[in-house]
Chains A and B, each alone.
Chain A
Amino acid sequence: MKALLKCAGLLLTLGAVACVDPEDQPSKVHDFRVLGISTEKPELYASTCEQTPEALDQLADEITYRALLVDPAGEGRPIRYELWACADTADTTCSDETSRAKLAEGTTTAGELVLPIRPGAVRVGDDRLLLERVIEDDAYKGLGGIRMPLVLHVTAGDEEVYAQKLMVFWCPLVEGMKENVQPVLPGLRVDDVPWEDGALPELSGPGPFLMTSEDVSALEETYVVPGLRLNAVTLKEAWEISWHTTLGDFSPQVTGGADFGGQQGRHRTEWEPAEGATAQDVTFWAVVRDGRGGSSWLMRRAHWSP
């Protein structure tokens, strides 16, 4: 009954929200944003949960931090950045000076910001590993892994964004656990035609144009996490793709994922150019997330004419 009521409430709310069409949409990229953040590896995995030197070394490995910065109206302006690591996942700006450490800073431009970092080796305060502070702040006692917030503070002109990514550190708490593999889209299709990187397909007319991802079902991992009762819980990834463009918008703007009944979405969306737009090259991004910290993206371009 509760679920029914929730569904009813949801339907009413969605119906009401459908009556309002905010101008600003996630898929309409018209100003400065961070569209996605990825770390390679997506998680750092120690081979044992004992605090051995070997395990600490594994958790202190260097990773590659990537942030997808877009600034279509910026005309190549400089973007100032600072990258922080801190202890509290609720501290979305890493504002607590006692438990944060700066990992990098500098100036860049729109595109991919790539930084090599070693968050597992960061120390704060009285020379303690930040990892230890993260565990202390974790109400779940590490049953969801050690989740260290990495906060990128970027400034472009008068636009300012704090972008948080959780860096996950794991060890084999229950049997069957294994290291996460970065989700990577095998390719995209436009109107059911393969859309290769570097290609510039011609699209004309008002659309909508069908955009899909190549089948990812074989890439979605089955994995094991510790349960809250200290048991092993088996899960299967249900990737989500968020779609973005410099012209028009997507519907739906996010594809895939699963609902609480386990029903998974198709990676199928429709792109519709903006009304009254003139012919131009359009940039598209598809950012994939595996729901456990892994993320990557593809960028494609096309030439559209009315």
Chain B
Amino acid sequence: MSPNLKARSALAAATLLLTTPALAQEPQAGAPPAEAAQAHQPTITKPPELVQQVEAQYPPDALTQGLTASVRLIITIAEDGAVSDVQPTEAVGNGFDEAAIAAVRQFRFSPAEVDGVPAPVQVEYVYHFTLNAPPPPEGETPTEQEAPKATLTGQLISRGSRSRVAGATVRCGDDPEAPEATSDAEGRFTLEVPPGECAVRVVASGYQLYQTKELLKENETTEVNFYLAPSGGALETVVRSERPKKEVVRRTITREEAQKTPGTFGDPIRVIQALPGVARAPFISGELLVRGSNPGQTATMMDGVSIPILFHLLGGPSVVNAEFIDQLDFYPGGYGSQYGRAVGGVVEVGTRKGAADTLHGSVKVDVLDAGFFLEAPITDGISVAAAARRSYIDTLLPAFLPKDDGKTLSVVPKYWDYQLRVDFGAKRGAPSEADAGGARSSGYVMAFGSDDQLRVVSSGPKTERDLSLDTRTLFHRVKGDWTYRKGALTSVFTPYVGYDGVSFEFGTAKQDGVGYTVGAREVVGMELSSALTVRTGLDLVYEHQSYDVQFPAPEDFEYVAFPGAESVGELLVEKLALGAFDGALFLEADMKVGKFTFTPGVRGNLQLVGDTQNVALDPRLWVRFAATERTSLKGSLGLYSQPPESFRFISLPYGNPDLVYQRAFQSSLGVEHRFTDVLNVDVTGFFNRRFKNIALPGQLVEREGGGVVQLPYSNDGIGRAWGIELMAKKDRASATDKWSGWISYTFSRALDGRAGPKPDGGGGFGGGDFGGDSDATYGLSPWDQTHILTLVGSYILGSGWELGGRFRYTTGRPTTPLDHGYDVYRSDPNRYTPTFGPYASARASGFHQLDVRVDKNFQFQSWTLTAYLDVQNLYNAENAEFVFNDYRGRREYEIPGIPILPVVGLKGSF
């Protein structure tokens, strides 16, 4: 027996692991949303080819024992084709791993191209160590004759998801000299072999070795479908995104993480709360409290279009359906000039392009709602993806509501949402279309929207009062996206329109609001040289809002309230309308100087609302220093602006037309290090200062023409936050890697309040309701949490089982302690006024909670059923969400959070 080793199927059989490339003119780096969305699914226009192969040394001991092996490797190929890293996905031992790695490190590839540009990629490579049969005895010569042939043809299909498996090798037996075929993009293959029994072996990246036997007859074609089982129990090949980071901090959440992080109910937005820099919101609220900012100060966008309402009714699921997302990018601060309209962070939801191979879909059912997702190619180059969801709490709730003669209680909450995306242009995995001039275009049209309705009626002689509440919040957005590339020029044009409807009826109070939105974003990028890239663009939006309102004259707006029982005011009927424009022009450049990359930028903002004209200029700079291939230092500073919402500009006393941009200064400094391709650590410190933020109410002022008015809003809000964030993340190296997860820790201090005195009429959220008779208007933010620790882990148990856990610890939020010495009773409102100690000088108890999730996949030939159990607060910790006082202000009570809460769900996908 002589040793013979064969590095077979080097790249012909290796499937690209869809590593996203680094492109100099590639748009997604620090990307404007439209470009970023494009970047989520880069197209490999030229695969790497092995140009220099080095044979491995067969391990002597293994040779002696007659052992064979296949070593599966992840090879990172640099832009120039050199091998920059080699990692085995699973050790096989007996010296095979070391031998294979040593050989592969000497390989040389032709540079791969993504979207026509040389780019680093990763490939999975299987190095086979096999032993040849002994040579025939001397004197025997093989007879030269034309061998009879049989044909085996068919299609390779992923078991459970029906995805077509491309790039797999198909052969009969394990003879290294045997002919083999490679499946195409449709998973099809044709193999010509000698007739007889064929011990079929199919090797595909991300799939288990497939073996079967087929009896092939001479001169006949046998057609088959082989269903390959994904390795590691995953439904999809592991996707690793390695976009270059120019932002100081960008955290990326994949679809799988968004769906499977325990304790989040599979809600993508709530997963963001498990990232550094985000304070814990009370209960199961999904509010994003980023680096000391207040709710509403972090922008959330879907492919670059602002999402008007983030969550369904009463803190329900977010309107972003996890099935429809490709990934989420979260920027806690220091983001580029193309982003605006936020003084906190930015969340960019990238949506999913429809499948290019065949029809796929899923149906999901849980205790709150049910939904579906479908994706399919329509024709060559056009694909569609659609998702919709509808709650059914309204049908279940009546069974749980109390029934009593003389009392009628009806609660009808309903919500639904949808997303639809149609892509035009290059088919996934295929070269992009190119016209005669070398230009390439692609694009898509997307629509999304949601509707929330809540009707509550309580009536009957035994009720304390008849109550009627009817609300509806509806929105639709339709956007287009056209990406044009020619040479070093990239242009992304994103127009969009929207409709918003809000109705509210509570007793005799009614409000019907309608809003129309039209906007567009244009981003042009030009790579002037390898060291200089310039981006510029416009970001424009116009809103027209109108309201028909009818309500009893409200106290303190129309007349001076007397403390106590509110009288019923005369009915006021008003029609309000206003148009609001907000536009921005931005310019930024990436300048590479040695190991430094400087990105200076500026964003000019203009807001026009009625007679109000506001201007804000936001210069920004961030710097990255690539100390080594794996270590980077980074820093940023800049100004950020957020326009007040349009409705705040309606005329006095319900709005304040004199509002200006909310502003913030953000700075950060950090270091990141890649220990391996799948293990990253990032440490970043930050200092933010917010000013001219919206605070409510404003001061009491005299009106022109007589009378007084309390401004409902002012720009008196200020805040300050500093801290340090740590993120250590372990991704799955391959489909067979069982562990993934991250550690997130934030140490921070956040201050919030208002500049100037406490207004007559009290404080309010954002302006600091500073409690009692204290004159303090500035202090610890109500959301300040000194320590925020989150541990997230997921482990694939095998046989379709997956176990995940999330543990959280946060410092309790600030409270103002009671300092009771005597009762202070106000007879008119029949209320006691507590006497407080120093503002925010105490804290609620710390919060700690463990959430666990178990998934079980049942994989059938054409579809997969997934059942999951998501348990919040597994050990039923009694955490304090709020601290309330008793009615006389003598004792404090901690309001407990969510107790143990199990949620089950089912998902079928095909």
Q: Which residues in A have some Cβ–Cβ distance to B below 8 Å?
A: 1, 3-4, 7-8, 11-13, 16-17, 19-20, 22, 24-26, 33-34, 36-37, 90, 92-93, 139-141, 143-145, 147, 159-166, 168, 223, 225-230, 233-240, 242, 252, 254-266, 268-269, 287, 289-293, 295
Contacts and interface: CB of A to CB of B under 8 A. Distances in A.
A170 B680 CA distance: 72
Query: Which of B314, B507, B567 has the largest number of chain A CB atoms within 10 A?
Result: B567
Contacts of B551: 260-261
B499 interface: no
Given A25-B887, A263-B467, A164 B826 contact: yes
Contacts of A255: 464
Interface in B883-898: 884, 886-888, 890-891, 893-896
Given A228-B557, A266-B463, A4 B565 contact: no
A93 B315 CA distance: 41
A240 B562 CA distance: 14
A162 B825 contact: yes
A238 B566 contact: yes
B564 A164 contact: no
A291 B707 contact: no
Contacts of B893: 20, 22
Nearest to A143: B560
Query: Which of A1, A13, A159, A289 has the largest number of chain B CB atoms within 10 A?
Result: A1
B507 A166 contact: no
Contacts of B822: 160-162
B887 to A, nearest CB: 5
Interface residues of B, number: 78
Say what secondary structure dominates the interface of chain A: mixed
B828 A139 contact: no
B565 A291 contact: yes
Given A8-B314, A252-B464, A229 B707 contact: yes
A219 B792 CA distance: 63
19 contacts: A3-B504, A11-B314, A12-B315, A90-B773, A92-B824, A163-B826, A228-B707, A234-B570, A235-B567, A238-B566, A254-B830, A256-B565, A258-B566, A259-B465, A260-B507, A260-B554, A263-B506, A291-B565, A292-B567
Given A262-B568, A293-B828, A4 B471 contact: yes
A18 to B, nearest CB: 10
Contacts of A3: 471, 504, 506, 511
B464 A233 contact: no
A255 B888 CA distance: 19
A139 B708 contact: yes
Given A160-B822, A236-B567, 10 more contacts: A1-B513, A7-B469, A36-B827, A144-B560, A162-B824, A163-B825, A164-B824, A235-B569, A236-B568, A258-B568
Contact of B564 (A147, A259, A268, A289): A289
Contact of A291 (B313, B567, B821, B894): B567
A261 B506 contact: yes
B708 A228 contact: yes
B580 interface: no
Interface string B813-833: 000000001111111101001
Nearest to B759: A139
Leading 9 A-B pairs by shortest Cβ distance: A261-B507, A144-B560, A291-B565, A265-B465, A261-B506, A263-B507, A160-B822, A240-B565, A37-B827
A122 B861 CA distance: 93
B194 interface: no
B370 interface: no
A177 to B, nearest CB: 12
Contact of A242 (B283, B563, B571, B830): B830
Contacts of A165: 827-828
A4 B557 contact: no
B357 interface: no
A16 B896 contact: yes
Contacts of B49: none
Given A162-B824, A233-B553, A1 B315 contact: no
Contacts of A22: 886-887, 891, 893
Contact of B895 (A20, A141, A164, A223): A20
Contacts of A266: 461, 463-465
A259 B507 contact: yes
Contacts of B564: 240, 289, 291
B823 A161 contact: yes
Contact of B707 (A34, A227, A256, A292): A227
Nearest to B758: A90
A261 B559 contact: no
B825 A228 contact: no
A279 B149 CA distance: 105
B50 interface: no
Given A7-B469, A20-B895, A264-B568, A293 B552 contact: no
B413 to A, nearest CB: 10
A259 B826 contact: no
A261 B828 contact: no
A228 B559 contact: yes
B368 to A, nearest CB: 15
Contacts of B886: 22, 24
Contacts of A143: 559-560, 707-708
B833 A92 contact: yes
A41 to B, nearest CB: 15
Contact of A228 (B502, B508, B560): B560
Nearest to B472: A4
Interface string B697-735: 000101100111100000000000000000000000000
Contacts of B87: none
A78 B540 CA distance: 74
Interface in B492-521: 502, 504, 506-509, 511, 513
B506 to A, nearest CB: 4
Contact of B825 (A164, A235, A292): A164
Nearest to A288: B565
A112 B653 CA distance: 43
Query: Which of B309, B513, B552, B554 has the largest number of chain A CB atoms within 10 A?
Result: B552
A252 B454 CA distance: 25
Contacts of B570: 233-235
B760 interface: yes
B561 interface: yes
A23 B801 CA distance: 48
Contact of A240 (B504, B826, B830, B895): B830
